[in-house]
Amino acid sequence: MKKRRNFIFYFLIFLMVLQGINVKLCAQSLQQKITVEMKNQPLKYGLDQIGKLSGFRMNYSIPAVSAYQNINLSKELRTVAATLNLLLTNTNLTYNVDNDKIIIVSKPESRSQLNGMVASVLQNNQAYGVVTDLENNPLAGVSVRLKDTEIGAFTDVDGKFTFSLPAEKTNFVLVFTFIGMKTQEVLWSDKIQNIVMEENINFLEDVIVTGIFKKKKSSYTGAVKVISDEDLDMFRGRNIFTTIKNIDPSFNIIENNNWGADPNRLPEIQIRGAGNLPALNQLQEQTSSGLNTPLIILNGFETTLQRMMDLNDQEISSISILKDGAATSLYGSRGANGIIVITTKEPEVGKLRMSVRSEINVSLPDLTSYDLLNSRDKLELERLSGYYESTTKDAAANILLQQYYNKVLAEVAKGVNTDWLAKPLRTGLDQTHNLKLEGGDRIFQYALTAQYKDVQGVMKGSGRSTFNGGIDLAYRHKKLLFRNYLSVGNTTTAESPFGSFSKYAELNPYWKPYDENGKLMRFFSPYEQNFLMQTGDVRFNGPYPNPMYDATLNTYNTTETTSIINNFSIEWKPLEELFFRGSAAITNDITNSDNFKPAKHSDFAGYSDADLFRKGSYAYSSGKTFNYAISLSANYSKLIAEKHSLFAGVNFDVTQNKGYSYNILAEGFPDESIDFLGMAFQYQNNSGPTGSESTIRRIGVLGNANYVYDNRFLVDISYRIDGASLYGANNRFAPFWSAGTGWNLHNEPFIKNNLKFVDRLKVRISYGTTGSQNFNAYQSRATYRYYMNDRYNMWMGAYQIALGNEDLEWQKRNKLNVGVEVGIFDSRFVLEADIYKEKTSNLLSNLELPYSNGFSEFTENIGKLENSGFELSGTYWILRNTKRRLTWSLSGSISHDRDRIVELSEALRTANERLALQGGSSPNRIFREGDSQSTIYVVQSLGIDPSTGRELFLTKDGEVTYTWNAADRVAVGNLLPKLRGNFSTMFRYKDFSLNLSFGYRSGGQIYNSTLRDKVEVNNKLLNVDARVFTERWKQPGDKAFFKGINEYSMAVATSRFVQDENTFTCQNASLRYDAKAKKWLDAIGAQYLAITASTGELFYLSTVKRERGTGYPYTRQFLLSLSLMF
């Protein structure tokens, strides 16, 4: 390669010497019009004619032109250039113009076709060159720009570019950018530029986007995981959250077995574990959702989990997950739970380009975890349970039951064995279609995007469909860049009218949904009240309703959200080192939800005649949020004396989040066709309209400085002051800071010289303080509310809601992180490890006050938590041959997190001890100092007594007893797995890539509620797990895991149901084909094509056998997508 360049260079020098030094471009003369006519004449004749008519001197070698003899040219007025072009078509010749000479030369080979051009532009301060890919195919549409200016051009179809360079400068750096290729910076020298662009593999790794400042990874001291758009594509999961989880295990989705793969359920997300405690009222309700949700930043501004789920994922350029103190303290009071920074793609400079992407996803319900009885066994189980013959009943009753048994038996004999699980389910067919138009010149760039995403849930009638549209405009004027990004999204969700999946999982298989005439039955038959009533369960107060009937009614539960985001920014770069940015964002969300159930709905089956008018309900809610944010930042970076690299940035931001919602519950809809809220008979019993309102204002000033010495030592410090309306008047402002340092050992001579195989060895340590704001907007305030349902005579009264706390302040989390980054053997093996410890203090908690204070409690900053853990991730390239484009890599990651409650407030402690004395069938959450939040407290079980079939318990004092006592509960497990992680392998050959990714969880425990609800169930009138039939104790001497089949003691929280959980899942398998710059692509006018086939959640292996997805089943997904760029 080098040789060839040299050759071309010398050839050019030769030409120049030949033609004289003073070269000037004479385009005008080439534009003069002449008429040359040729009829089967030699080329030489034509060239001579041109010389004669135009006055140019024609230079050519006779042997070169004599090869072309029979040329025809029609008699027409043409420019000199056009005549020449016509004459030279289909020859291997071309021409150069040199002052008054036209030189006919051989065409360069495709690799060196520059020659002609070079001759014409050299010495005229022109940049020029050819851009190709690794296989020598010219790349068209590559943007070539002079660094930090708007000067530049695009390559043409032959991959060529030329443009003028400013005269006043030297040392030009050209920047080559092309979609899907690594951006290159090349120092322009007057040599011929033949640029080979490489495909972009993880091109983002080098830059960390914090949402406020962009940082080079090599100079950064924080712990951040950067996910590229390509990663998102290759690790595709059910939604963006599962995708991220597939990539980074420290991003944890708290599994909710009830909601399974419900497309409308927002998951609970934690980064590096839970660092908050629920408030007293949440503790009583046993909820804590949303407390640990990380902060989500979209293009520099805060957004919601909901919006993130509905985002046009094709528009995501990168996602950074900020974890440690150095990274998260940039966000001060909001950074404690970690931060997800999403950046969308900027419009690319170039000719109008259209990208299309379509995706089809097939979801199949995964019911492998269900093991229910068939109709014959179920009936037999009922018989064994004594439901059809009882010594305590009189003969007449027993006869009735026997008759009923015979009826059911007849059904079974007829072969009735309904697969109820299949009834509410379907194969979900999801579609996503994306269209993007983009392009523009150096001054003005634009991108228009549209996306339609329709997700069908596997429960019939459930789904989520989203439309996203976006307009992204950028305008450059001198050193200013204006950008406006407008995004409009509309999401409609629908819940299945079939109701909860669990209702179907418990239906008896000997019942059938349709009668003999094929009509849907409202109640199941045969029916015998004496049979259903014998367990005294109120659900069986009458014939058992068919839940499928509700789905035939006009009933719906839908939510529509419209979201508009507009971000505007101005960037100014007055100097190479100095950069200013100002941006403003507005977000407007409007949500409406409608939930209608007509009078015939099974919900109202139990209403008495007096409540006739109350049958049928409509829940309507409407809400709006309007947020604005303004952010101003300036940063300065400079390299001093080649060794000292300095970065300093300041940022100022102001935010207001304002929102309200109204809820109306109306009832009395006698007819299903009248589903108009205005036609309701009344508000729901004893209720009226309700609503909520909140306004939160925030202000923050941030300073950040980064110093790198000789690319070896790094120091990074930041300081932020945050003010928020949430906090007490006396503590409106709080400071946050972080400091981090790193050492690039690979740049040290002793490594460089002695351990040559090490190309990257960086150690870093950071410490930072952050806060979290997960509480009510007005919690700190002493506020009054009017009595809404009471009055005194004719006067309205007001009461003080809470005492208020003017000293209320931020929950603080201090984070310590130590990390190491290793790359050896030319980055064949890379490893990144982090170990962290986080301490949360000032936890918001309720403090009990004596009654004489007039308020029984008071919100105060009390409570301490501690989290610690480690993360490890590495990649090994088994094969890496860029030339042959053959790579094979293996990646793996492990994460571990443990939390410990250090201190609880008095009130929380008492509330917990009260909870600890309340019994129940499931272990309620109890917080104890010294233990983890997710500890499982149950009574120690000694198993089933073989002689009686009853369970034996161990009391706290070590005594053996049959009696279960809530006070005997001890910690027997932890819901948190000890280790959680992923591993994946990626194989690429040429345009094909194959990716397999697996996830695992190990070392945690689970309270298996299936065993309680479906195996040890007392009431066996409905269907149960097959293990009831096979594994329960039946007679003395049986060594069984489950208590006696006719043992009716209450279900209790016992250690027997706490099982070790180890799981292994195939998260994703995908095969992709990419095509760029192919001839056949040109034929269809396309530049790029990609086809991906992938599967999600192909299998799930677990040591715990339980029903997964009780309220909504889990799914397996099969996806096919096609991307095209024109």
The footprint of another protein (CB under 8 A) covers 660, 691-699, 723-725, 729, 732-733, 777-778, 781-787, 790-801, 803-805, 847-856, 858
Cβ proximity to another protein: between 216 and 697 the closer is 697
| Burial (Cβ within 10 Å: 0-12, 13-18, ≥19) of residue 984 | buried
What is the closest distance, in whole angstroms, from the C-beta atom of residue 725 to another protein in the complex? 4
What is the closest distance, in whole angstroms, from the C-beta atom of residue 302 to another protein in the complex? 17
What is the closest distance, in whole angstroms, from the C-beta atom of residue 787 to another protein in the complex? 6
Rounded Cα gap, residues 869 and 834, in angstroms: 8
Cβ proximity to another protein: between 90 and 793 the closer is 793
What is the closest distance, in whole angstroms, from the C-beta atom of residue 799 to another protein in the complex? 4
Rounded Cα gap, residues 318 and 547, in angstroms: 45
Cβ proximity to another protein: between 140 and 280 the closer is 280
Cβ proximity to another protein: between 64 and 699 the closer is 699
Contacts of 1061 (CB under 8 A, 6+ apart): 977, 1001, 1002, 1004, 1005, 1006, 1102, 1103, 1104
Rounded Cα gap, residues 348 and 335, in angstroms: 32
Rounded Cα gap, residues 780 and 803, in angstroms: 9
Cβ proximity to another protein: between 734 and 1090 the closer is 734
Cβ proximity to another protein: between 799 and 1080 the closer is 799
Q: Which residues pair with 353 in a beta bridge?
A: 438
* The total number of residues written for the chain in this structure: 1126
List own/partner pairs for 147-155 with CB under 8 A and 24 or more apart. Answer: 147/172, 147/173, 147/174, 147/175, 147/185, 148/573, 148/576, 150/442, 150/443, 150/476, 151/442, 152/442, 154/349, 154/350, 154/351, 155/130, 155/131
What is the closest distance, in whole angstroms, from the C-beta atom of residue 909 to another protein in the complex? 13
Cβ proximity to another protein: between 842 and 873 the closer is 842
What is the closest distance, in whole angstroms, from the C-beta atom of residue 790 to another protein in the complex? 5
Tokens, residue 201: 């593999």
Cβ proximity to another protein: between 98 and 302 the closer is 302
3-state secondary structure of 994: strand
3-state secondary structure of 1095: strand
What is the residue type of 951? Answer: E
What is the closest distance, in whole angstroms, from the C-beta atom of residue 701 to another protein in the complex? 9
Cβ proximity to another protein: between 481 and 701 the closer is 701
Q: Which residues pair with 799 in a beta bridge?
A: 785
Cis peptide before 526 (omega within 30 of 0): yes
Closest CA to 337 of 275, 392, 284: 275
What is the closest distance, in whole angstroms, from the C-beta atom of residue 335 to another protein in the complex? 19
Cβ proximity to another protein: between 186 and 729 the closer is 729
| Cβ neighbours around 178 below 10 Å, total | 26
| Burial (Cβ within 10 Å: 0-12, 13-18, ≥19) of residue 222 | buried
Cβ proximity to another protein: between 536 and 854 the closer is 854
What is the closest distance, in whole angstroms, from the C-beta atom of residue 697 to another protein in the complex? 5
* Number of Cα atoms under 13 Å in the Cβ half of residue 624: 3
What is the closest distance, in whole angstroms, from the C-beta atom of residue 801 to another protein in the complex? 7
Cβ proximity to another protein: between 709 and 787 the closer is 787
Burial 56-74 (b: 16+ CB within 10 A, else e): bebbbeeebbeebeebebe
| Burial (Cβ within 10 Å: 0-12, 13-18, ≥19) of residue 966 | middle
What is the closest distance, in whole angstroms, from the C-beta atom of residue 586 to another protein in the complex? 18
Apex 470 CA angle, 465 and 475, nearest 5: 170
What is the residue type of 510? Answer: Y
Q: Which residues pair with 545 in a beta bridge?
A: 523
Closest CA to 340 of 315, 316, 323: 323
Whether the CB-CB separation of 549 and 522 falls below 8 Å is answered with yes
What is the closest distance, in whole angstroms, from the C-beta atom of residue 919 to another protein in the complex? 17
What is the closest distance, in whole angstroms, from the C-beta atom of residue 983 to another protein in the complex? 48
Cβ proximity to another protein: between 235 and 810 the closer is 810
Whether the CB-CB separation of 714 and 764 falls below 8 Å is answered with yes
Contacts of 738 (CB under 8 A, 6+ apart): 325, 326, 328, 329, 330, 716, 717, 718, 766, 767, 768, 769
Rounded Cα gap, residues 59 and 18, in angstroms: 11
Cβ proximity to another protein: between 133 and 653 the closer is 653
Cβ proximity to another protein: between 744 and 772 the closer is 772
What is the closest distance, in whole angstroms, from the C-beta atom of residue 572 to another protein in the complex? 22
DSSP 87: H
Cβ proximity to another protein: between 797 and 1036 the closer is 797
Element (H, E) at 686: none
What is the closest distance, in whole angstroms, from the C-beta atom of residue 927 to another protein in the complex? 21
* Number of Cα atoms under 13 Å in the Cβ half of residue 568: 4
Torsion of CA 997, 1002, 1005, 1011, to 10 degrees: 50
Q: Which residues pair with 236 in a beta bridge?
A: none
Rounded Cα gap, residues 172 and 165, in angstroms: 8
Apex 543 CA angle, 538 and 548, nearest 5: 105
What is the closest distance, in whole angstroms, from the C-beta atom of residue 561 to another protein in the complex? 22
What is the closest distance, in whole angstroms, from the C-beta atom of residue 210 to another protein in the complex? 24
Cβ proximity to another protein: between 697 and 712 the closer is 697
Cβ proximity to another protein: between 131 and 777 the closer is 777
Burial 396-417 (b: 16+ CB within 10 A, else e): eebebbeebbeebbebbeeeee
What is the closest distance, in whole angstroms, from the C-beta atom of residue 798 to another protein in the complex? 4
